Structure 1
């Protein structure tokens, strides 16, 4: 690995104040650093940060079209992962606040999971949040799902503490399951008397 300086930051995602939320390290690699960064080196850097994920960004110059594109990879201290939401949000925040100009409102990330998009958006209404806070909307790639027969998975109700299963869906790529349990809730009313 080259010995040039690497721009990096540790960013708390999903937080309104420091030392809250979910931290992720973000490293921007450029030039020689980008060319020399191999998987072993990125794992070593992630282990040094010792956070759940470290994101590595490299500017993608292959597309001249807007929006700007960056290659994005995520590493835990021991392995590369295919997708990480909080480290993607941290990467977008890092780019919008440190690297890109204020005119840039959208950035695309080229990842193992497909193209992810981050866009600056106005503060949501009725939150009471105002000022110069940055809000970012992420658009993740869709995955195809197929319906499964819950009878094929007899331990599913036991895993869900006896909850009845309404439907089970399986991703076509990774085999992940999405389970919709039947949840019964009891709503009671009470009267409040003031004195």
Structure 2
């Protein structure tokens, strides 16, 4: 069991909005992490017209990070070995390890040993790096969580709650466009509200399948 799942919340909100179950532009979900709010956000094009489909903005708790222990540093070193350098290491309040690499290319290209990640303390491993200015993004990231049966999460909402908090300190800003560099990839728009300790994640959902339960 996890405290929050961005995929499930986004999918549930998308269904509520597109099926007509909810007729308002916001919907609230009761979760282990508390009340989570999803909001329908319309995107305005350059000519002033409203684009379709709409985005969905999720309002999640921000996740802070602290310094790693010696055991955590040792486990990270075994995952990366000597073939790539590590700029920074943190432990998130959600019990994940966060590792900063020298470049976005390193994040995209690195091949990690899943068995070594399983041996690391905590739940999962977030790797990230600042993006180059010409990329159009602020940072790249990937999230590995084999202990929960997910070798690599395509686009992890909870990981971005920690990433937004971390990069806000490094870049001294509150708004980001992040690229989740998994093989499936994804783009996440982020806003950190430091006073309320909340992160707003905005993205698009698409219906790919419908089914029915027969009782």
TM-score range, shorter chain: 0.3 to 0.5
TM-score if structure 2 supplies the norm length? Answer: 0.40
TM-score if structure 1 supplies the norm length? Answer: 0.43
Higher relative contact order (CA 8 A, sep 6+): 2
Greater Rg over alpha carbons, structure: 1
Structure that is richer in helix per residue: 2
